[in-house]
Amino acid sequence: MPSAHLDTFARDHLPPREQWPVFLFELPELQFPEQLNAAAVLLDQAVADVKDGGRGWGERVCLRAPGGLVWTYRDLQRQADRIAHVLVQDMGLVPGNRVLLRAPNNPMLAACWFAVIKAGGIAVATMPLLRARELQTIIAKAEISHALCDVQLLDELMPALPNTPLQQVRHFQGLSQGSGEHLGVQSLEDAMQRHDAPFATVDTAADDTCLLAFTSGTTGVPKATMHFHRDVLAVCHCWCAHVLRPRADDVFCGSPPLAFTFGLGGLLLFPMSVGASTVLLEKASPPQLAEAIPTYGVTTLFTAPTSYRVLAAQGDALRASALRQCVSAGEALPAATRAQWKAATGIELIDGIGATELLHIFISADEAHARAGATGVPVPGYRATVLDEQGREVPAGVVGRLAVQGPTGCRYLADERQTKYVQHGWNLTGDAYLRDADGCFIYQARTDDMIVSAGYNIASPEVEDALMLHPAVAECAVIGTPDAARGHIVMAFVVPKAGVEANDALAQDLQNFVKQTIAPYKYPRQIRFATQLPRTQTGKLQRFKLHEWV
């Protein structure tokens, strides 16, 4: 397919074809044309009149936010077009450039995302809680040249810029107040006022990369997953169309950040694929979700099991609301949480497992087929199996490695770990599963050192690296330990340096230090001090022995 990318960085850094998984395009709706732009399909065609081949949704409500902000599909298109003009005319973007996006969930972030895609750029959305040290790694790895940043997140972005290729930065207000110059960065809104004309969306190839989604991985060294324009539309045609089956009058809301592919799909791509609307909350803790559901008439909720456990206490109020569909992902759904939610609200949770590498959910069950303790079956468009260590399929009832194929799959940006994730044409997600006699997939555990806490993936080595920066730490090791509220929490075993007193004050200082070094949600909620760590004769940490100490 002829690429529209003048900056060929992404195509040049794709893994070799022989390292790609097998891709499946068996469903008729997955037969994409060679030239395809996801923003043209999801936004431009949504707004265009029916007589012109569009859907005629221009005056439908698309986005809502606190403070009374309401945007129609046409409003979103106008904002995205203005931002695209700023990117190209004022900031010098050429198709294929990578653009860092930093903001909590708000309409301006959505407009920026679509603007980047319309301009033929590659969106690199980042979690709002990331610190400068983490951002610098992402900027360097993706060779990011441009950034659009909510003003309230500039303080962590600016220290990450020295000695990186990122030079063009604009700030925007999001839902915050104020205007003018901040840290010497120009205002995106001021520049947008100079551009009123429609933007001609770049005619990209279906296999041009349109987003880089970063995942920590098991080592804590960031991996960038590369997703094409066709991938963005494929997830709308698979899990969304066949399992969620949303309606045009649905109102979506939830907690996952748009920088998390679970959130991008659930709070932006999926509602827009059917002409529905979404409520974007910058802060979406359970109390804020509980308030938003009746206020906005939310029908479709996306959040993690941790939130559902807290929200269940509001069961009577939720039963009286318009809420009809609730999706759980981001971590394994305990059977007790499913039962608790059903008893409290009368709603059966839609569970699913997805991966950043595959963009969204690939095994799931709808409300009618949900089973306690089971994830579900492969989503239409995907197939899955369970393999042993030699890559052989295991019988039903035997635990092994989950392996998946479909229209999306793992393509890491210039990363040798590609050959670990993709083997013999299968995506190996790092999850241990068994498949029962009915073909239903049942989650067992992670197969690596990833800690999943309250829906967040936290890599043990990354937390260890942060702790080791503290002057009082001689060595440390981090594991996940079960927790009733969060599924798992981060526990650190710390050996203090000689002469340092191990006490509660030191533990508190270490926790605060980690919060300031990496994203705060990764900090160790429990710290235990030790005189030494269990190691082999060759010096390798015996992490399994730490679990025995708990």
- Domain boundaries defined on the chain: 37-203, 245-347, 450-549
Same fold, 245-347 and 450-549: no
CB 80 within 8 A of CB 39: yes
Q: What is the pTM assigned to this prediction?
A: 0.87
CB 322 within 8 A of CB 299: yes
What is the per-residue pLDDT for 2?
87
Q: Which helix (H) or strand (E) holds 454?
A: none
What is the per-residue pLDDT for 67?
93
- Spell out where 104-260 has E strands: 122-126, 146-150, 168-172, 186-187, 209-215, 223-228, 251-254
Residue pointed to by tokens 């497992």: 353
pLDDT in tens, 180-228: 457 778 999 999 999 999 999 999 999 999 999 998 544 457 899 999 9
CB 500 within 8 A of CB 492: no
Residue pointed to by tokens 């972030």: 109
| Architecture per CATH, 450-549 | 2-Layer Sandwich (3.30)
Angstrom distance (rounded) from CA 490 to CA 522 = 7
What is the per-residue pLDDT for 319?
97
All residue ranges of the chain with pLDDT < 70 are 1, 176-181, 216-220, 445-446, 448-449, 536-540
Angstrom distance (rounded) from CA 270 to CA 298 = 15
Which amino acid would we find at residue 231? D
DSSP 87: I
What is the per-residue pLDDT for 217?
45
DSSP string of 94-152, one letter each residue = -TT-EEEEE-SSSHHHHHHHHHHHHTT-EEEEE-TT--HHHHHHHHHHHT--EEEEEGG
CB 208 within 8 A of CB 3: yes
DSSP 40: I
What is the per-residue pLDDT for 512?
97
DSSP 424: T
CATH topology of domain 245-347: Rossmann fold (3.40.50)
Count of residues making up the chain: 550
- Strand partners for 172: 150
Angstrom distance (rounded) from CA 2 to CA 36 = 11
Domain 37-203 maps to which CATH number in 3.40.50.980, 3.40.50.1110, 3.30.70.360, 1.10.10.10? 3.40.50.980
Q: Note the helical H segments in 381-449.
A: 418-421
DSSP 474: E
CB 238 within 8 A of CB 407: yes
| CA-based nearest residue to 135, from 111, 109, 112, 156 | 156
Torsion of CA 38, 44, 48, 53, to 10 degrees: -30
What is the per-residue pLDDT for 537?
47
Angstrom distance (rounded) from CA 40 to CA 208 = 14
Which amino acid would we find at residue 89? Q
- Spell out where 127-217 has E strands: 146-150, 168-172, 186-187, 209-215
Buried b (16+ CB within 10 A) or exposed e, 398-423: eebbbbbbbbbbbbbbbbeebeebbe
Angstrom distance (rounded) from CA 203 to CA 219 = 38
What is the per-residue pLDDT for 177?
59
Chain mean position to CA 357 = 10
Q: Which helix (H) or strand (E) holds 96?
A: none
CB 549 within 8 A of CB 493: yes
